[in-house]
Amino acid sequence: MIILGLGCNIGDRLSNLRDALARIHLISELKVNQVSPVYESDALLPENAPESWNQPYLNIALSLSTKLKPEQLLTKIKTIEEEMGRVTSLRWAPRIMDIDILAWGDEHCHADKLKIPHLSLTERPFALWPLADLVPTWKYCAPNKAETGKTAKELIKKFGSRFDGKALFHTRQIAHRVDTPIMMGILNLTPDSFSDGGQFNNFAEAIKQTEVLFDAGADIIDIGAESTRPTSKYVTPDEEWSRLRSILETWLLLWNGRSSKPKLSVDTRKPEIVEKLLSYPIDFFNDVGGLTDPKMQDVIKDSKAKVIFMHSLGIPPSADRVLAYDVDAVSQVYQWGERQLENLTKIGINKERLIFDVGIGFGKVAEQSLEIIKRISQFRGLGVPISVGHSRKSFLSQFTSKNFAQRDLETAAISGFLATQQVDYLRVHNVDQNMRLLKVNAALCNSN
């Protein structure tokens, strides 16, 4: 049982941790067995450190199995740090990635460049808590220490609660994870959306909801100002922009300068809106029109944001425009995605920017939507990240008679399945319930 500790306090910390985890997975001589929850903590700093160093860390632990020797593994993880851009000239300086070997079973090592268990492990809740989440029965094994022989579960008792931030370095577990699909929280500014229409028309409530979604574990907030439900009314570009503009201005005031903040996605199918947004720091554009509008394609090329393009047979969806019943639904959607990817890359949109949404409920009857979800892993063959927006939708009527707003339980159950299929993005209304389910599922499904 080998435990690595990973920490980062520069740039997009969650993305950096995901990047490091992906690189560790690529080491052929080892297997990652478990991934801990994420903990945030203050930076550990020397006296008179520059104020710019005072940036909080995100931390995780991994359990591994490997035939590598400790020194060999150390070389590989230090290579990953260097490849990610870590500069080692100044001790305690901010780090884009810091990877340590925290424990190696019951082995003890005290070499010049490698000390196992990590010398300060028992005094650092940001390292010991993640370790204890993975292997609570691990026993501290450094000789001549008062803690020797005590389990990780016993050692963490002095730190109190994982969640209240009262431990040393204000360490606390946060809702985000790096081993589950990236969660996209939905914020509808519309009066007529199918499950939350009118709920966030109020400016203050909408801004508050961005914080609620982020604190619950959303990496991305997807803001939409036009409903795409069946029978919804067309919203003019001017009206859509009037709904978006004030929210975006306040978003910048609220989140700019924070060490932890969500990425911003705008859900729109209008090139006029995207053109206005080019001067804003938009991370994602979410086009339910599938990037089929030539004007949208042209304006998207001027952006550096990632783009979600969704399969549909018309917006808003209609019961008389659905996939053919006598042809496999997965094949129809896959082939459309394949053709559209070819079209978009030919006109100069980099494939690395593109994310494919299979369009659950758009141009598909309930049975077809469910079949696509069951076989979602087949879409990985497209070679781009996959996004699924299944939250509260009508296809869930196969399982419940609850109204749309009361379908979060069914939504979360499907999210749990999609996580096992390596889906990259999940777009949901109730981020809290979905993340709580994914956290438990991750603990149960991780191999030992």
- pLDDT tens digits, one per residue of 41-77: 999 998 888 998 999 999 999 999 999 999 999 999 9
Tell me if residue 190 falls in helix, strand or coil: coil
pLDDT at residue 231, rounded to an integer: 66
The larger pLDDT score, comparing residue 414 to residue 235, is at 414
Catalytic residue among 13, 19, 23, 95: 95
Report the Cα 136 to chain-centroid distance in Å: 26
Inter-CA distances, 367 with 247, 330, 377, Å: 37, 11, 17
Instruction: Flag the least confident range among 98-112, 158-172, 256-270, 276-290.
Output: 98-112
Inter-CA distances, 40 with 122, 126, 297, 355, 393, Å: 17, 7, 39, 29, 34
List the domain boundaries for the chain. Answer: 2-173, 182-445
Residue 196 reports pLDDT greater than 80: no
**Distance between CA 274 and CA 262 in Å, rounded?**
20
pLDDT at residue 257, rounded to an integer: 79
Instruction: Give one word for 395, left, alpha or beta, with left for phi > 0 and alpha for psi -120 to 50.
Output: alpha
Q: Are 58 and 14 in contact (CB under 8 A)?
A: yes
Assess if CATH 3.20.20.20 describes domain 182-445.
yes
Instruction: Flag the least confident range among 79-88, 271-280, 364-373.
Output: 79-88
pLDDT at residue 447, rounded to an integer: 57
98 a catalytic residue: yes
Catalytic residue among 13, 19, 23, 100: 100
Tell me if residue 198 falls in helix, strand or coil: coil
Smallest Cα–Cα separation from 63: which of 158, 153, 152, 130?
130
Smallest Cα–Cα separation from 334: which of 387, 376, 390, 385?
376
Residue 116 reports pLDDT greater than 90: no
Triad 245, 250, 251: Cα angle to 5° = 95
Catalytic residue among 86, 269, 392, 407: 86
pLDDT at residue 195, rounded to an integer: 46
Confidence bin at 412 (pLDDT 50/70/90): very high
pLDDT at residue 194, rounded to an integer: 47
Instruction: Name the burial class of residue 279, with classes exposed (0-12), middle (13-18) and buried (19+) by CB atoms within 10 angstroms of its CB.
Output: exposed
Q: Are 403 and 382 in contact (CB under 8 A)?
A: no
267 a catalytic residue: no
This prediction's pTM: 0.92
Smallest Cα–Cα separation from 191: which of 180, 182, 202?
202
Catalytic residue among 13, 19, 23, 98: 98
Average pLDDT over residues 81-93: 86
Confidence bin at 199 (pLDDT 50/70/90): low
pLDDT at residue 402, rounded to an integer: 94
Mean per-residue pLDDT of the chain: 92
The larger pLDDT score, comparing residue 320 to residue 218, is at 218
**Amino acid in position 138:** W
**Distance between CA 21 and CA 60 in Å, rounded?**
10
Architecture of domain 2-173: 2-Layer Sandwich (3.30)
Rounded to 5 degrees, what are φ and ψ at 28? -65, -25
pLDDT at residue 200, rounded to an integer: 58
Percent of the chain with pLDDT over 70: 96
pLDDT at residue 36, rounded to an integer: 97
Percent of the chain with pLDDT over 90: 76
Q: Are 391 and 428 in contact (CB under 8 A)?
A: yes
172 a catalytic residue: no
The residue count for the chain: 448
**Distance between CA 78 and CA 131 in Å, rounded?**
20
Which residue shows structure tokens 């903990």? 39
Per-residue pLDDT of 336-356, as tens digits, reads: 999 999 999 999 999 999 999
Average pLDDT over residues 190-214: 73
Residue 370 reports pLDDT greater than 50: yes
Inter-CA distances, 258 with 66, 133, 141, Å: 39, 28, 39
Residue 192 reports pLDDT greater than 80: no
The larger pLDDT score, comparing residue 76 to residue 199, is at 76
95 a catalytic residue: yes
Q: Are 20 and 10 in contact (CB under 8 A)?
A: no
Residue 140 reports pLDDT greater than 80: yes
SS3 content of the chain, % helix, strand, coil (to 5): 40, 15, 45
For residue 407 the two structure tokens come to: 């379908």
Going through 9-161 in order, the beta strands assigned E by DSSP cover 30-35, 39-41, 57-66, 98-104, 109-110, 115-116
Rounded to 5 degrees, what are φ and ψ at 205? -65, -35
Sign of the dihedral defined by the CA atoms of residues 441, 446, 447, 448, in that order = negative
Residue 251 reports pLDDT greater than 80: yes
pLDDT at residue 198, rounded to an integer: 53
